[in-house]
């Protein structure tokens, strides 16, 4: 699975980076210790004593402090680690709010999902296409209004709190193909685990920088101190203390900024390597090299290029699509390769000619479809996109975390064939809530009537009115449209405060329970929604706590049993399907047990998935693989099987795109 391989590579890169920064910190400790001993030796009192016993004391005092003092070394080490560690934790805590916290820290503005601005709608449409195609929740979309250059970045700790931010110049100067290439580049960072790595890099570099800032603060605090003082003993001691403090301040300043220099070197080197991969991935996603080279050439032909005007963005320079700030030290701090190298990596025939970017692209001459303002096939708005080959376990697993041109085309057609009224409803908080209520309405007339009464009593008459307006579009809605509609609704639901969100989720649960049973789709919708909103609000909660397969044997048995009972039909029994899945987890195959339907229904399944969500990537990978083989045990993945499979994958933070199902 490319997704898990990419995540593993990101983890390996993180481990190497932590090791490199650990070496840098150890070097900082040694430098700090040497500087401290040097300062003590320079301020040591060498005054001789005149006679008697005092002569012995004087002789001892006359000896300068030893270069090796274990207690002093321990103290300097602990102080350095404490400063660097606490500073890094402080910066990491700033990022605990996820991608939105990063975007807002640089002054970016969140795009209203209901915007009617043509350029903003075009951007939202491109991001939605990429999200549906890759199976990740639709990221928040931000614009840096005060930045006329061409640039963009993705930020977040997980796919659930990710954001994509672009500058005003990107929005106004790029064609749709070029904009799609830039967004594809950023989605590569989302899918490859680069976002979390970027945020860790920033926190670690800041931790080392704080030493330099501390030294500068010490020197600033001593600016009014005189190094002269009185000639008496007390005055000399006081003056010596001030000198020692000043020397420590100078040492911290030098050591901190030297550490920061090498930290930035590491940061820049890692960033440059990833940019080539992201460029290549974007070209692979879109199968349109001209989109990526066009965007890069326009940066080269623009006087401002990709340069950011605000210093607020300096700390996240390695997040950006292109070099955001002037690189010092002969390019050693460059976070991105030179533009001509990036272009030639895609187009070896590039002759060095850049493109003069227009002030504003002529969106009016783009079709309303490409601008994201109208469906592509108005004559048949409810039609499904052309059928792709039926999903099999291997095709489902190969699609995880991968964007292919076929998937992007399928997502475009899927979105274009979605009724416009439903897409419009998904763009507002009130409309998105009613839309999800509507997706849960039962086919049975009496149950449906009870559900409508429940909506009216819990959400009010306005919700019922919106529901009635959506009814014509809902009547012929195809199953393939339902989960993508949930993805489209997520950006409008994320900003809801708990006072509004909790009643909404409670009403949703009552609608699910209205007929006394929970279908695969109902479980999938609830699980996808709750998991995405929870991680979107607290992305720091996504931590690995379980590394042993043996620790989660009961939970894996529950999940595989639930999928096996759902997949049982006249061709394949639950036991046969379960055995196919268990064979994908050889390490514990003999310990897994097919449970009864009652032991693996929604009640036990929900907590089992929550526990597996904090398992290691290796465990989550094998569980998803096992479920895919169970779902396709009869050679075909059906709608209900695909819905549960996507719910399981999403709970385990595994992006699975829409499947071609029977």
462, two tokens: 């306005």
Conformational region of residue 571, where left means phi above 0, alpha means psi within -120 to 50, and beta covers everything else: alpha
Is residue 122 classed exposed, middle or buried when 0-12, 13-18 and 19+ CB atoms within 10 A define those classes? buried
3-state secondary structure 189-230: HHHCCHHHHHHHHHHHHHHHHHHHHHHHHHHHHCCCCCCCCC
**390 domain-assigned:** no
Nearest to 391 by CA among 199, 638, 79, 218: 638
Same domain membership, residue 91 and residue 7: yes
Same domain membership, residue 206 and residue 76: yes
Is 434:425 a contact under the CB 8 Å cutoff? yes
Q: Compute the distance between CA of residue 13 and CA of residue 266 in angstroms, rounded to an integer.
A: 11
Among 274, 309, 333, residue at a domain's last position: 274
Q: Compute the distance between CA of residue 65 and CA of residue 48 in angstroms, rounded to an integer.
A: 16
Dihedral (CA of 122, 125, 131, 132) sign: negative
Same domain membership, residue 222 and residue 82: yes
Same domain membership, residue 614 and residue 561: yes
**178 domain-assigned:** no
Structural domain boundaries enclosing 439: 418-517
**564 domain-assigned:** yes
Conformational region of residue 594, where left means phi above 0, alpha means psi within -120 to 50, and beta covers everything else: beta
Among 274, 300, 317, residue at a domain's last position: 274
Q: Compute the distance between CA of residue 119 and CA of residue 125 in angstroms, rounded to an integer.
A: 10
Model confidence, pTM: 0.78
Instruction: Give how many domains the chain has, as a whole number.
Output: 3
Q: Compute the distance between CA of residue 539 and CA of residue 202 in angstroms, rounded to an integer.
A: 17
**145 domain-assigned:** no
**296 domain-assigned:** no
Same domain membership, residue 644 and residue 555: yes
Give SS3 for 144: strand
Same domain membership, residue 624 and residue 499: no
Positions in the chain whose pLDDT score sits under 50: 1, 60, 224, 226-233, 367-389, 662
**125 domain-assigned:** no
Same domain membership, residue 570 and residue 424: no
Q: Compute the distance between CA of residue 616 and CA of residue 652 in angstroms, rounded to an integer.
A: 10
Same domain membership, residue 581 and residue 505: no
Same domain membership, residue 579 and residue 472: no
Same domain membership, residue 511 and residue 553: no
Among 274, 304, 334, residue at a domain's last position: 274
**594 domain-assigned:** yes
pLDDT at 568: 85
Give SS3 for 421: helix
Same domain membership, residue 647 and residue 555: yes
Residue 4: C-alpha distances to residues 154, 281, 425, 493 (Å) = 20, 16, 35, 29
pLDDT at 328: 63
Cβ neighbours of 461 (radius 10 Å): 10
Give SS3 for 269: helix
What tens digit of pLDDT does each residue of 265-277 get?
Answer: 777 777 777 788 7
**370 domain-assigned:** no
Active site residues: 186
Say how many Å lie between the first and final Cα of the chain, rounded: 24
What DSSP line would sit under 35-69, residue for residue?
A: HHHHHHHHT---PPP-STHHHHHHHHHHSPPPS--
Same domain membership, residue 497 and residue 433: yes
In degrees and rounded to multiples of 5, residue 140 shows phi and psi of -65, 145
């Amino acid at each position: 699975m490319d997704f898990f391989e990419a995540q593993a590579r990101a983890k390996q890169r993180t481990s190497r980076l932590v090791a490199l920064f650990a070496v840098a910190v150890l070097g900082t400790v040694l430098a700090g210790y040497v500087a401290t001993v040097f300062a003590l030796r320079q301020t040591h009192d060498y005054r001789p004593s005149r006679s008697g016993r005092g002569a012995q004391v004087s002789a001892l005092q006359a000896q300068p402090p030893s270069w090796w003092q274990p207690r002093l070394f321990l103290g300097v080490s602990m102080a350095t680690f404490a400063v660097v560690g606490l500073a890094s934790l402080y910066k990491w805590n700033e990022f605990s709010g996820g991608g939105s916290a990063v975007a807002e820290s640089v002054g970016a503005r969140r795009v209203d999902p209901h915007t009617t601005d043509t350029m903003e709608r075009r951007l939202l449409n491109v991001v939605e296409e990429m999200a549906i195609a890759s199976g990740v929740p639709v990221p928040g979309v931000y614009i840096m209004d005060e930045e006329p250059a061409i640039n963009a970045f993705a930020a977040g700790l997980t796919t659930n709190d990710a954001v994509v931010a672009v500058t005003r110049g990107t929005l106004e100067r790029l064609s749709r193909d070029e904009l799609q290439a830039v967004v594809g580049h950023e989605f590569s960072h989302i899918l490859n685990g680069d976002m979390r790595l970027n945020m860790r890099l920033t926190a670690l570099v800041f931790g080392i920088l704080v030493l330099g800032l501390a030294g500068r603060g010490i020197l600033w605090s001593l600016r009014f101190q005189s190094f002269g003082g009185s000639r008496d003993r007390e005055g000399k001691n006081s003056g010596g203390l001030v000198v020692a403090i000043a020397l420590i301040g100078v040492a911290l300043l030098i050591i901190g900024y030297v550490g920061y220099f090498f930290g930035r070197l590491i940061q820049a080197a890692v960033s440059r390597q990833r940019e080539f991969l992201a460029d290549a991935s974007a070209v692979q996603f879109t199968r349109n090299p001209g989109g990526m080279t066009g965007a890069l050439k326009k940066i080269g032909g623009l006087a401002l290029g990709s340069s950011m005007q605000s210093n607020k963005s300096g700390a996240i320079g390695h997040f950006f699509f292109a070099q955001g700030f002037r690189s010092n030290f002969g390019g050693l701090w460059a976070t991105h390769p030179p533009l001509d190298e990036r272009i030639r990596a895609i187009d070896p025939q590039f002759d060095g000619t850049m493109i003069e970017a227009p002030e504003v692209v002529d969106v009016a001459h783009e079709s309303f479809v490409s601008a994201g303002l109208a469906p592509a096939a108005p004559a048949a708005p409810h039609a499904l996109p052309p059928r792709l080959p039926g999903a099999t376990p291997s095709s489902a697993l190969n699609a995880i975390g991968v964007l292919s041109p076929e998937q992007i085309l399928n997502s475009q057609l899927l979105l274009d064939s979605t009724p416009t009224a439903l897409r419009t409803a998904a763009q507002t908080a009130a409309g998105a809530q009613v839309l999800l209520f509507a997706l849960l309405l039962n086919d049975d007339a009496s149950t449906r009537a009870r559900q409508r009464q429940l909506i009216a009593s819990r959400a009010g008459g306005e919700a019922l009115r919106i529901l009635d307006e959506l009814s014509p579009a809902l009547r012929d809605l195809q199953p393939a449209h339902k989960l993508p509609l949930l993805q489209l609704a997520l950006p409008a639901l994320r900003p809801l405060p708990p006072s509004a969100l909790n009643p909404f989720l409670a009403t949703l649960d009552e609608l699910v329970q209205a007929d006394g049973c929970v279908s695969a789709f109902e479980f999938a919708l609830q699980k996808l929604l709750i998991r995405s909103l929870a991680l979107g609000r607290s992305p720091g909660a996504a931590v690995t706590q379980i590394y042993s397969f043996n620790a989660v044997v009961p939970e894996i048995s529950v999940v595989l049993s639930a999928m096996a009972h759902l997949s049982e039909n006249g061709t394949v029994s639950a036991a046969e399907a379960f055995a196919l899945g268990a064979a994908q987890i050889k390490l514990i195959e003999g310990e897994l047990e097919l449970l009864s339907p009652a032991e693996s229904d929604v009640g036990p399944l929900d907590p089992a998935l929550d526990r597996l969500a904090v398992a290691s990537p290796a465990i989550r990978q094998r569980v998803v693989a096992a479920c895919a083989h169970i779902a396709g045990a009869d050679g075909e993945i059906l709608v209900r099987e695909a819905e549960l499979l996507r719910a399981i994958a999403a709970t385990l933070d595994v992006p699975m795109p829409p499947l071609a199902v029977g």
